[in-house]
Amino acid sequence: MIKKDIIVFTESRIRFNEVDSMGILWHGHYIKLFEDGREAFGEEHGLSYYDFYNQGIYTPLVHISCDYKLPLEYGDTAIIETKYIDCDAAKLKFEYTIYKNSLEKKVIVSTGKSVQVFLNENRELILSSPQFFIDWKKKMKLL
């Protein structure tokens, strides 16, 4: 079976309170844009943080990386591409590409990756994927 990419695009306007004294988006806010992308992905595809939380599962980040290519500035529109990366392990993996102002021009300003694991209500690591996550993967034709 050929697996298709599951991608969501989200827009975010760069606000004045997010830039430094040079008018450039502060580096830590790129991680916030990744978070915006993950939340939009979850809402669009039925895999939100509430879906996990309602199952008694926490999904903390254990890895995140960001490569900066070009700056975003006050007034720019960030287009966040969030792509789910399927894996056999009990993890959530995403890749991100942030574009400046439009998808048509394809000006990439940053790329990144994140990994989240599953914890139970006692905050203990879950080593196998929860059943509702397996069901979601089947629904998305990943299994």
Domains in the chain (CATH in brackets) are 6-139 (3.10.129.10)
Q: What is the model's pLDDT at position 102?
A: 79
Q: What is the mean pLDDT of residues 75-99?
A: 96
The sheet with strand 61-68 has its strands ordered as: 6-13, 77-85, 91-100, 108-117, 61-68
User: How do residues 23-79 score in pLDDT, each as one tens digit?
Assistant: 999 999 999 999 999 999 999 999 999 999 999 999 999 999 999 999 999 999 999
Q: What is the model's pLDDT at position 35?
A: 97
Identified catalytic residue from 5, 20, 67, 88: 20
Report the share of the chain in percent with pLDDT over 70. 98
Q: Does the annotation mark 76 as catalytic?
A: no
pTM equals: 0.93
Q: What is the model's pLDDT at position 105?
A: 84
Contacts of 25-29 spanning 24+ positions with Cβ under 8 A:
25/71, 25/72, 25/73, 25/74, 25/76, 25/78, 27/66, 27/68
